[in-house]
Copies of this chain bind each other. A is one copy, B any other.
Amino acid sequence: MSRLRVLAFSISLDGFGAGPGQDLEHPLGVGGPELFEWLFPTRTFQEMHGSGGGETGVDDEVAARGFENIGAWILGRNMFGPVRGPWPDESWRGWWGEEPPYHVPVFVLTRHPRAPLAMKGGTVFHFVTEGIEAALARARAAAGDRDVRLGGGVATIRQYLQARLVDELHLAISPVLLGQGEHLLGGLDLRALGYACTRHIAGSRAAAHVFLEKRQG
């Protein structure tokens, strides 16, 4: 069965996965972009969002691997956009412009129904109102024998971890202190939930990349 994977998810040295005060001007929260200073210069990121070029090396390799063999994504609603409550209209089409970097079906968790939204390049946003297990079932069906990537944000990853539905969690530890924000692991006992660190590699700009996996059984 396809695996549910969190890949290249950035946390600060003090454990935050996003800064405080997320809104339209601060999609990653205040200070949040510092979490991604390891990622922005990579060739993978630059090819997707920038002008091309970019750095190769460990950070780029792990960023690139995050897009390999992925047949569907799951995102929390706040990762899709800053709109809260019922959708006022269909004008919000994601943070990424007309051609988002997913190129596969993306399942967005929300309590408010909305018709699917097909974008350029193969990305189709599906809005799932039936909860995290339903979203995972639909994403797996869409992914076929490929894996499902859980993109975030923090609250969504925490829900899936608590339910022991995440198979693999790759964290990029950024060499920054945020001080405040959304803490990824606070109050979650990952060890009791069956997770263990199976591998770690040094980053270039990232302090380290660590790989957690759910033990079988």
* Chain B contacts for A188, CB-based, 8 A: 14
- A173 x B208 contact (CB < 8 A): yes
Interface size for A (C-beta < 8 A) is 32
A186 within 8 A of B: yes
Number of copies: 2
A190 partner, pick from B179, B192, B207, beta carbons under 8 A = B179
Q: Tell me whether A197 and B177 are in contact (CB under 8 A).
A: yes
Q: How far is the CB of A117 from chain B (nearest CB, A)?
A: 36
**A210–B207 contact, CB under 8 A?**
yes
The reply to whether B191 and A179 contact each other, CB–CB distance below 8 Å, is: yes
Q: Are B189 and A179 in contact (CB under 8 A)?
A: yes
The distance in angstroms between the C-alpha atoms of A188 and B212, with both chains bound, is 26
A200 contacts which chain B residues (CB < 8 A)?
Answer: 175, 207
* 14 A/B residue pairs, CB under 8 Å, sorted by A: A13-B171, A13-B173, A13-B185, A13-B212, A14-B15, A15-B15, A31-B191, A175-B197, A175-B200, A177-B191, A179-B191, A179-B192, A197-B207, A207-B207
